Chain A
Amino acid sequence: MAKAKTNTEDYLRMYRQMVRIRTFEDNANQLYLSAKMPGLTHMYSGEEAVAVGICEALTDDDRITSTHRGHGHCVAKGAEFKQMFCELLGKEEGYCRGKGGSMHIADQSHGNLGANAIVGGSMGIATGSALRSKLQGADDVTVCFFGDGATAQGLLYEVMNMAALWNLPVIYACENNGYSEYTKTEEIAAGSITARAEAFGIEAFKVDGQDVLAVNELTQKLVARCRKGEGPFFIELETYRYHGHHVGDINREYYRSKDEEKDWKENRDPIVRFRGWLVEQGIASEDEIEAMNTEIETDATEAVAYAEAANYPDVSEVDMHVYAD
C-alpha cells in the first residue's frame, strides 16, 4: 500500500466498514450454525475491500446492484445491522419486510437496488439504471457487482454492447474470487476476463481486490469519468471468499485445499493489511482500532438480539405487494 496519509476520516471509515461486514457475516454464520436462520446464505468474508473500496467512492445517489453474496455490498452502501438481521430472519422490520431474505436484500435509501438470486440477473438492471441516469441528465453512476462465474451469462455481453454504444455511466465490477460454486474459475472461463469488456471498446482494469486503497483510488477515478460521460468501465477485482460457497458448504477439500485458504487468510487479508497500514502511518493506534472493533461487535450482538425478538410479518401481508398501486 503506497498511498500517503491524506484523509484520516475516510481511511477510518473504510476500516470500520470492512470490519462491520466481517462482523455481520460472523454473526450471520453463527445464526445458521445454531439453526436460527431460515434457509442458507452466502458469506462475503474475505472480499470486504472490494465492496468497501468501491462503495466509498459512491454517494447515496449512486446505485449499485448486488448478488447472492450480497451482505457486503449492502453494508458498504450504508445499510443498518438491525434491518439487515431482521431481513435475514424473515421479520417484518427487515429491509424487505421479510419477503426477500438474504438473497434479495435491498436498501433503497442508500441506492442499493438489491441482491439477486439469479447469477447475472442484475446486469440488465444496472445498465438500465445507467440508461435512466443518462436520459434524465442526472450525474449518478451505477455499479454492477457480479462474480467471475457470472461472466458466463450471455446477458453480460448484450448489455455491455449497449452500454458501450451509448456511453452509459455504469461500472461492471467483476469480483473474481477464483470459484463459482464448487468449480475453479479457470475450468469454466476461457480466455481473459478483462478482454471480454475490451472487445466492446470498454476500458477494463484489473486490481488487487484485497487492497482497499487501490480499489478505492481506481473507483474514484472511474466514477468521476463516468459522471463526465466517459463510461462504461469494467473492473476485475482479484479476491477470495473465506467460507464455502454457502454457509452449508463445510467439507470442501475436494475442490479447494485448506492450504490455499490459509494462505489467503494469513497473507492477504484485507482487514489485517489495512489495519497494519493505518497503525504504521500513525492514522490510528492499536488501542483505537481495538475499541472500534469492540464497538462494532457490540452493535452486531445487539442487532441480532433485536432481530431474534422481532415479530414476523402478519400473515395478511402475504398477498400485499404483488402489484404496485
Chain B
Amino acid sequence: MREITLSQAVNEAIAEEMRRDETVFLLGEDVAEAGTPFKVLSGLVEEFGTARVIDTPIAEPGFVGLAVGAAMTGARPIVDLMFGDFLYLVMDQLCNQAAKQHYMSGGKLSVPMVLRTNLGATRRSAAQHSQSLQALVAHIPGLKVAMPSSAYEAKGLMKTAIRDNNPVVIFEDKLMYQDKAPVPEEEFLIPFGEANVKREGKDISLIATSSMVQVAEKAAEMLGQEGIGAEVIDPRTIVPLDEKTLIESVKKTSRAIVIDEGHQSYGVTSEIASRLNEKAFYHLDAPVLRMGAMDVPVPFSPALEDITVPTPEGVAENARKLCSGEMIHAA
C-alpha cells in the first residue's frame, strides 16, 4: 500500500469531502495561500478558490462563531485553529454555543462543524503553544472528540467528522505531520467509537491516545523482549468512547495503563481509568495506572520539557511493576 504523511492524509480527506459536498468550506488563519504554518492545507485554495478556503483575521472567537452560525443554517464548516492552546479563546463559541444548540432546541437545530486543531509538547514552543487540551472539550456534552494516531486514522476520522451532524473537535499531533503510514487509495471512513487494537497481548493493556500510541507501542516492544505481553489499544475517539473494546481487553489482561498527553489530573486518563474501575473491577489484578503529562505548564527549556511527558521507558517501567505485583500494595 502507498504511504503518505499525516499532513497529506488530512489534506486528502478534506479535499475529497469538499468535492463530494459543496456545503463544506474551510476557514482559519493563513489557511489559503500559506496552507497553514504546518503546510497541511497546501493546494486546497488552488482547487476550491478563496470562496471556500477562507483566510480570516486573527479573531478566533469570531470565526468559530461564524462557523457555528453557518453550520446551523446549512453549511458544513471546517475551522482551522492553528494551535490547540487557542481553544481557551474560543470556549464560549464552542462549548456554550456549538455544543448545546441541538439539545437546547429540542433536537431542531444542529451544528455540523469540525474544529481541527493540534496537541503535543516537546517542540520547544513553551507554555502557550504546547498544550494537549482534549480533556477540556471532552468534558462538554454535545462535542465529539477525535484523536488520530497516524496518517490512516487522520484521514478516516476527518472524513467521518465532516459528515457527522455534530460539532467535532479533532486533535492532530504536531510532531506527527511528516510521519508516513500506509493509507489506501480507495475511499474509506473510520467510524467514531471504534477502538483499534494495535497489538495483542495477554499480560497488560496499554490504552493510549494520539501521540502516546507510538510511545505505548515502543514500550510494548521493549516489554515483549522481556516476555511481557502488552496489548496496545488506541480508542481513536474519546467521545464517543469504545468502552466495550477497552473492557474486553482488561478482562483478558487484568492490568492496564492509560496514557494521554494531556495533564494527568482531571484528564482523559482519569476518565478512562475510572470507567475500567467501575466496569472491570473484579477482573483487575492491579490498580489501573494513569500516565499523563506532568501537572505543570509546559516549560521551554529542553532539559525540563522532556521530562514532562510520558516516555516508552517510563511506560515500560510502570508495566513491569504492575505485572510483578509491586504496585498492588503501593501507598
Query: Which residues of A are interface residues toward B (Cβ below 8 A)?
Result: 38-40, 90-91, 96-101, 103-104, 116-121, 149-150, 152-154, 180-183, 187-189, 254-255, 312-313, 315, 317-319, 322
Contacts and interface: CB of A to CB of B under 8 A. Distances in A.
A152 B304 contact: no
A101 B124 contact: yes
Contact of B58 (A104, A117, A153, A315): A153
B191 interface: no
B308 A318 contact: yes
B72 interface: no
B299 interface: yes
B304 to A, nearest CB: 5
Residue among B85, B86, B128 with max Cβ neighbours from chain A (10 Å): B128
Given A153-B59, A254-B33, A322-B295, A98 B303 contact: yes
B124 A38 contact: yes
B301 A322 contact: no
B297 interface: yes
Contacts of B302: 38, 90, 312
B301 A91 contact: yes
Contacts of A150: 58
Interface of B: 29-30, 33-34, 37, 55-59, 61-62, 85-86, 89, 123-129, 294-297, 299-304, 307-308
A90 B301 contact: yes
A91 B303 CA distance: 9
B126 A319 contact: no
A321 to B, nearest CB: 8
Nearest to A322: B296
A181 B296 contact: no
A315 B303 contact: yes
A218 to B, nearest CB: 26
A105 B77 CA distance: 37
A39 B58 contact: no
Contacts of A254: 33-34
B62 to A, nearest CB: 7
B126 A313 contact: no
B59 A181 contact: no
B126 A117 contact: yes
The 4 closest A-B pairs by CB, nearest first: A101-B300, A90-B301, A39-B124, A152-B57
Contacts of A188: 55-58
A265 B162 CA distance: 46
A119 to B, nearest CB: 5
Residue among A91, A99, A116 with max Cβ neighbours from chain B (10 Å): A99
A116 B127 CA distance: 10
B296 A154 contact: no
6 contacts: A39-B125, A117-B128, A153-B59, A183-B29, A183-B55, A317-B304
B107 to A, nearest CB: 31
Contact of A104 (B123, B300, B303, B308): B300
Contacts of A189: 57
B126 A100 contact: yes
Given A39-B124, A98-B299, A99-B301, A154 B307 contact: no
Nearest to A88: B300
Given A150-B58, A154-B61, A183-B33, 11 more contacts: A39-B300, A90-B301, A91-B301, A116-B128, A118-B86, A118-B128, A121-B128, A181-B30, A181-B34, A183-B55, A312-B302
Contact of A152 (B30, B58, B85, B126): B58
B129 A103 contact: yes
A135 to B, nearest CB: 27
A182 B57 CA distance: 11
Contact of A319 (B55, B58, B294): B294
A182 B299 CA distance: 27
A188 B123 CA distance: 29
A299 to B, nearest CB: 24
Nearest to A96: B300
Nearest to B88: A118
Given A149-B58, A152-B58, A181 B29 contact: yes
A312 B300 CA distance: 11
A249 B123 CA distance: 17
Nearest to A98: B301
A317 B303 CA distance: 10
Contact of B34 (A91, A103, A154, A255): A255
Given A101-B301, A117-B129, A318-B296, A181 B37 contact: yes
Contacts of A317: 304
A149 B125 contact: no
Nearest to B29: A181
B58 A180 contact: yes
A120 B58 contact: yes
A62 to B, nearest CB: 25
Contacts of B124: 38-39, 90, 101
A103 B57 CA distance: 21
A279 B327 CA distance: 75
B57 A99 contact: no
A317 B57 CA distance: 38
A154 B61 CA distance: 8
Given A119-B58, A187-B55, A104 B126 contact: yes
